[in-house]
């Protein structure tokens, strides 16, 4: 791409994606899990639970990829032995989502990691990322990859860097606004204006 500004169609969004990698050669000891909370594996029969958490945790940051999948597509991912999707369950119910993807052995990925909006800042996210790193090393991974973007939580990039991830690449992603086709409600992510010509 040449330097400059590029106009987007009204229904499109663009984000700056940052790719990060964590070298797993030297990890600190596994931290104790949050008191009263456990990670529970999600499988092909847990589509409703997965989608509800995905939508609630990621709605304001326009997480949409899994929501556009059919039941069979999502069930196939959750049933894959090389995908480890887990819910963080606490005394008050499900509060977090962690998903590790080992299908590409050359670049195992932290696909999703997040907690309910009411739990941000509670330390649960740090606990989950610590568990993710140890799970990846136990699977024999030498490194763990993750990517975040400029539409994500404002502290997401700093969060990953504090956990030991190092940025190594950037890209621009252009995609259809998921609020315009009903994938996400129109009233989420109000920090990103809707540009469809239809009053909200």
According to the model, what pLDDT value does residue 200 have?
A: 54
Q: What is the pTM of this model?
A: 0.92
According to the model, what pLDDT value does residue 33 have?
A: 75
According to the model, what pLDDT value does residue 199 have?
A: 55
According to the model, what pLDDT value does residue 90 have?
A: 84
Q: Mean pLDDT per 10-residue run, the chain (200 residues)? A: 90 97 91 83 97 97 97 98 95 93 96 94 89 95 97 95 97 96 96 77
Per residue, what are the HEC states of the chain?
A: CCCCCCCCCCCEEEEEEEEEEEECCCCCCCCCCCCCCEEEECCCCCHHHHHHHHHHHHHHHCCCHHHHCCHHHHHHHHHCCCEEEEEEEECCEEEEEEEEECCCCCCCEEEEEEECHHHCCCCHHHHHHHHHHHHHHHCCCCEEEEEEECCCCCCHHHHHHHCCCEEEEEEEEEEECCCCCCCCCCCCCCCCCCCCCCCC
Q: Which CATH class is domain 15-176?
A: alpha beta
């Amino acid at each position: 791409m040449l330097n400059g500004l590029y106009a987007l169609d009204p229904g499109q969004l663009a984000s700056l994606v940052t790719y990060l990698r964590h070298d797993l050669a030297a990890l600190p000891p596994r931290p104790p899990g949050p008191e009263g909370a456990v990670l529970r594996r999600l499988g092909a029969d847990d589509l409703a639970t997965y989608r509800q958490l995905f939508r609630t945790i990621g709605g304001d940051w326009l997480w949409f990829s899994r929501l556009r999948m059919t039941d069979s597509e999502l069930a196939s991912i959750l049933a894959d032995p090389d995908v480890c999707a887990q819910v963080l369950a606490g005394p008050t119910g499900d509060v977090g989502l962690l998903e590790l993807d080992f299908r590409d052995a050359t670049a195992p990925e932290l696909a999703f990691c997040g907690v309910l909006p009411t739990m941000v800042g509670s330390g649960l996210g740090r606990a989950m990322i610590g568990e993710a790193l140890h799970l990846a090393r136990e699977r024999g991974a030498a490194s763990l990859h993750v990517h975040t973007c400029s539409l994500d939580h404002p502290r997401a990039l700093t969060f990953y860097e504090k956990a030991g991830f190092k940025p190594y690449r950037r890209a621009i992603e252009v995609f259809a606004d998921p609020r315009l086709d009903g994938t996400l409600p129109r009233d989420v992510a109000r920090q990103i204006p809707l540009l469809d010509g239809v009053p909200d």
